[in-house]
Structure 1
Amino acid sequence: MAQAQATGSNQSFRHAATSLRELDRGRYLSTLVLGEHRDPVTALYAFSAEVAAIRERVSNPAPGEIRLQWWNDALSGEGHGELRQNPVADALLQTVERYAIPAGTLQRLLGARRFDLYDDPMPDLESFEGYAGETASTLYQLAAMVLNNGQLVEPGDAAGHLGVAHALIGHRRAFGVLARQGRIMLPWTIFAANGVRESEIFTGTESEGLAAALGQIAELAADHLAKAEAAIAALPGNLRPAFAPLTTLRAQLERINSSGEGLFAIPPDLPDWQKIARLSWWTFRNR
């Protein structure tokens, strides 16, 4: 019986890795440098990726709200027998139990993801930073907690700044795709301050104002990356691999800034082998 349970457990983590690879390849690659802690961090990231994908899997917000509630119930301890049949949920709950991950932290991530279900523009920078804190910074903080074998850690500025940079760069890369969906996930006040109208974004109209706004967003991302790098350098070596995506995010931002493509085009990305090389070298140098 114990062996059968262990086999099921391993299958759940393998399924979580497969799901993460399909839904968020960047975070999947970042787990490759985590050694013995790879499986539990993968479970956390796969949960986040599954939740982030809800918008694309539903026809309107109502079923999306139901799916978010399903995950909330899972973290509240309701219906565990049924929930364990979902391999990502099973891997997540095992990780929560083993590493004493605060369920409330993951439930706040779910709360933040409700914003994704609707078409309201991201109001301002403060709102964006709050959203990024609950959806991206949280993952860095929890990954560091896993690397610390479940002991609470205070990565503070490292997780906070890297999470905001991660969200800024990710949404800048997806700007054109989201615009075609009628969505504005970057701070609207930055666009408004540069004289950009919603209709221009939704119709893919380039302008000097739009270029200036996106340039300011790139500068904000660079500032958060610099602050994150300084904060990561002050962390104990055993926690730093959780923050290895710093190196790939920096490369993505450089490509955004140097891209000759249009403002609505997806900026070129690094091939996987270069990302893996960067992540491995950074981790080797920063342990």
Structure 2
Amino acid sequence: MSQSEENYISCGEALREADRDRWLAALFAPDAARPHLFALYAFNAEVARISDHVSQPILGEMRLQWWIDALNGERAGEASANPTAAALLATIAHFDLPRQKLLDLLEARRFDFYDEPAPDQAFLDKYCEDTCSVLFALASRILGGDGAQKASAPAGRAYALTGLLRALPWQVARRKCFLPLDVLARHGLTPVDLFAHAKTGEVKAVLAEMCALARKDLAEAKQAVRALPKPEREAFRLLALPELYLRQMEREDFDPFDAPVEVSPWRRQWALWRNRF
């Protein structure tokens, strides 16, 4: 087995542990594309978790800078010794993927390290697009498409926003506010109210508004996906999952400050398998 093959296998193993949903979705892809999806998604999983593993923003910044340097070809030796970096760089070269999109993803992740709230809905939309829509677009290219911007932009907003909403209790515990200030203000709320577990009714109203936005983007994305060639649609299999979480958050008895919304692994796997676009 070559070193390159070992790198891709390592990405698959890391992805299975860090982001099982994307790992499962990638299993439906053709054999030739699957290792490259593993590399892309394993990179994303590693970067997305940086904020969970650093105690100070400067440490997160340093890890991001390493990835920026690696993508810019400035750490060739170190990158070749890192299975995820080596596999990602090989995938970029093989499919001529736009490095700037991945650099934009890294730049957007800086927001994760700091206490500042999302200032407005436009900021949050761009954050979701830079961190999630890009993954749909690059997966589409790996599967032989052209990036499917018409589908990838709303797909990323819907998938990322749903994930942020379901993780609200975890964000509150960290005193991090992804809910946009302009949306909170319309309902008479501030981040302080969230951190104090106050005004539950108003918080549920905010979540209802945000869930409606996620549903709108999800419907737009699914309509666009149905118009794509069949092989390219595999890049969007994950769109089977947001509905499972949105349905729970829209229940009348939903407590926004309880534990993060979860769906059993077998239900998620079943939804991914049943997704016929």
TM-score normalised by structure 1 residue count: 0.91
Q: Counterparts in 2 of 1:72-87, with a 5 A limit?
A: 72-87=68-83
Tell me how far apart the structure 1 counterparts of residues 34 and 16 of structure 2 sit (CA, whole Å).
13
Map of 1:57 onto structure 2? 53
Q: Kindly report the root-mean-square deviation, in angstroms, between the aligned alpha carbons of the 2 structures.
A: 1.5
Map of 1:161 onto structure 2? 154
In the TM superposition, what is the alpha-carbon distance from 1:73 to its structure 2 partner? 0.7
In the TM superposition, what is the alpha-carbon distance from 1:280 to its structure 2 partner? 2.1
Among 134, 153, 159, which residue is 1:138 paired with? 134
1:39-82 C-alpha deviation (Å, 9 max, x unpaired): 10111111111111111111111111111110011110112122
Map of 2:237 onto structure 1? 244
Runs of 5+ consecutive residues of structure 2 not aligned to the other structure:
none
1:235-278 C-alpha deviation (Å, 9 max, x unpaired): 11110011011111122211221273411123543322222222
TM-score normalised by structure 2 residue count: 0.95
Map of 1:29 onto structure 2? 24
Give, as a single letter, the amino acid of the residue that structure 2 aligns with 1:119: D
In the TM superposition, what is the alpha-carbon distance from 1:206 to its structure 2 partner? 4.0
SS of 2:164's equivalent in the other structure is: helix
The reply on whether 1:200 has 2:220 as its aligned counterpart is no
In the TM superposition, what is the alpha-carbon distance from 1:164 to its structure 2 partner? 0.3
Among 181, 184, 189, which residue is 1:188 paired with? 181
Give the stretch that moved more between structures: 132-141 or 185-194. Answer: 185-194
Map of 1:105 onto structure 2? 101
Runs of 5+ consecutive residues of structure 1 not aligned to the other structure:
none
1:79-117 C-alpha deviation (Å, 9 max, x unpaired): 212211111111111111111111111111111111111
Tell me how far apart the structure 2 counterparts of residues 77 and 210 of structure 1 sit (CA, whole Å).
45
Map of 2:250 onto structure 1? 257
Tell me how far apart the structure 1 counterparts of residues 7 and 198 of structure 2 sit (CA, whole Å).
45
Give the stretch that moved more between structures: 269-278 or 52-61. Answer: 269-278
Contact 2:170-2:260 within 8 A present in 1 as well: no
SS of 2:231's equivalent in the other structure is: coil
Give, as a single letter, the amino acid of the residue that structure 2 aligns with 1:28: W
Tell me how far apart the structure 1 counterparts of residues 200 and 265 of structure 2 sit (CA, whole Å).
33
In the TM superposition, what is the alpha-carbon distance from 1:29 to its structure 2 partner? 2.0
Structure 1 213/93 Cα, relative in aligned 2: closer, same or farther at 3 Å? same
In the TM superposition, what is the alpha-carbon distance from 1:231 to its structure 2 partner? 0.7
Map of 1:212 onto structure 2? 205
